[in-house]
């Protein structure tokens, strides 16, 4: 069967030439295109400060991320979960500009251009990342309860390390909030990963191998 393709736009103004954007993955009733894989890779590698890599293996990893994202998007939409705000995304963007580029917009723009990205694409990605974090907290944190016994056990197991990190006051009472937060985060992540694995199992996922060659 011939691969399904989407015709997007003219290439470089050449008459009769088109950019062919192949379907890479079908997730339920949603399509992930080759251009989506490339965009995800560029954004991920920019944020992680990694060299640009558009290899077949990297594209397959991007596909897995986007499959997860589509499942999360569906859950957010059907579950009525609140999303991060544009102001939150803008604040995070400003932090990146300050910490990595010395609060110089021109330096940020130059770095984005090297990855073939726009500031608008980066802002949308940051908004999405914040929305995912918010979803995880809303969906899974209310069901997590860390007991006093678990806090005590963690403290006893890691006492030397904890006291080195907090030499001024390394008592259980002083470190209890930090330990409880850490254990809560671990349990939330575990609950999320289990939910996501089950959701993937219940979702029709179809790969178009020609998009990864």
Predicted local distance difference test score (pLDDT) of residue 21: 86
Residue 150's contacts (CB-CB under 8 Å, 6 or more residues apart) are: 183
pLDDT in tens, 14-54: 344 455 789 999 999 999 999 999 999 999 999 999 999 99
Looking at per-residue pLDDT, the higher value among 77 and 16 belongs to: 77
Per-residue pLDDT band for 81 (boundaries 50, 70, 90) equals very high
Each as own residue / partner, the long-range contacts of residues 173-176 (CB below 8 Å, 24 or more positions apart, any chain) are 176/151
Residue 169: both structure tokens together: 């006051």
Summary mean pLDDT of the chain? 91
Task: For residues 99-111, give the mean pLDDT.
Answer: 97
First CA to last CA distance, the chain: 17
CATH code of the domain occupying 5-142+203-212: 1.10.4030.10
pLDDT of residue 213 exceeding 90, the answer is no
Give the count of alpha carbons within 13 A of 15, CB side only: 0
Task: For residues 146-172, give the mean pLDDT.
Answer: 92
Task: For residues 186-206, give the mean pLDDT.
Answer: 97
Predicted local distance difference test score (pLDDT) of residue 10: 30
Predicted local distance difference test score (pLDDT) of residue 19: 52
The predicted model scores a pTM of: 0.84
């Amino acid at each position: 069967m011939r691969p399904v393709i989407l015709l997007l736009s003219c290439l470089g103004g050449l008459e009769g030439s088109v950019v062919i954007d192949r379907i890479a993955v079908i997730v339920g009733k949603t399509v992930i295109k080759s251009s989506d894989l490339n965009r995800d890779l560029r954004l991920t590698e920019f944020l992680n400060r990694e060299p640009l890599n558009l290899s077949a293996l990297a594209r397959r990893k991007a596909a897995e991320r986007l499959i997860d994202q589509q499942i999360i998007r569906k859950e957010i939409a059907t579950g009525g979960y609140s999303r991060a705000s544009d102001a939150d995304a803008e604040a995070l963007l400003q932090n990146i500009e300050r910490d990595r580029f010395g609060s110089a917009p021109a330096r940020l723009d130059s770095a984005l251009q090297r990855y073939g990205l726009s500031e608008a694409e980066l802002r949308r990605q940051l908004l999405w990342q914040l929305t995912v974090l918010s979803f995880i907290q809303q969906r899974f944190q209310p069901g997590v309860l860390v007991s006093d016994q678990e806090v005590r056990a963690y403290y006893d197991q890691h006492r030397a390390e904890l006291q080195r990190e907090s030499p001024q006051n390394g008592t259980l009472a002083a470190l209890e909030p930090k330990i409880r937060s850490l254990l809560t985060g671990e349990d939330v992540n575990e609950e999320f990963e289990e939910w996501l694995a089950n959701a993937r199992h219940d979702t029709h996922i179809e790969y178009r191998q020609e998009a990864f060659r």
